Amino acid sequence: MALSQGGGTNMVIGILITYGCVQFIQTYILEPLVVGAEVKINPLFTIIAIVIGELVWGMPGMILAIPLLGIAKIIFDNVDSLKPYGFLIAEEKRRVIAVLLIRLKDGSNNYTNNATCLIH
């Protein structure tokens, strides 16, 4: 478009760089922070999901990555054998870790209870 309106190659390069920067900031910085917080997913896993979605399906994969990760987290949280994966993806871990540390501080050597506390 810039070339057809009399712009030079410098203008085309400037437009491409600007578009690339805006797309990068939106996709890799803003979207994980905003959308990841809504579905309570760790920002690191949000970014990883977006990158994997882009590698697998391109732009549609980037759009579908967060909803699919959210669906996976809900499944992980509700299937007993997959709960550790749901905990790994989850954003809020401080409260669970604090409860685990309190149990360990009480001298409880029952590791099953401690692991269950970590998962719930």
Q: Residue 5: what pLDDT?
A: 67
Query: Strand, helix or coil at 27?
Result: helix
In a domain, 6, yes or no: yes
In a domain, 50, yes or no: yes
In a domain, 33, yes or no: yes
In a domain, 14, yes or no: yes
**Structural domains of the chain, count:** 1
| Residue-number span of the structural domain to which 2 is assigned | 1-65
In a domain, 87, yes or no: no
pLDDT block averages, 10 residues each, the chain of length 120: 70 89 82 67 88 91 88 88 88 60 58 48
* Residues constituting the chain: 120
Between CA 60 and CA 74 the distance in angstroms is 22
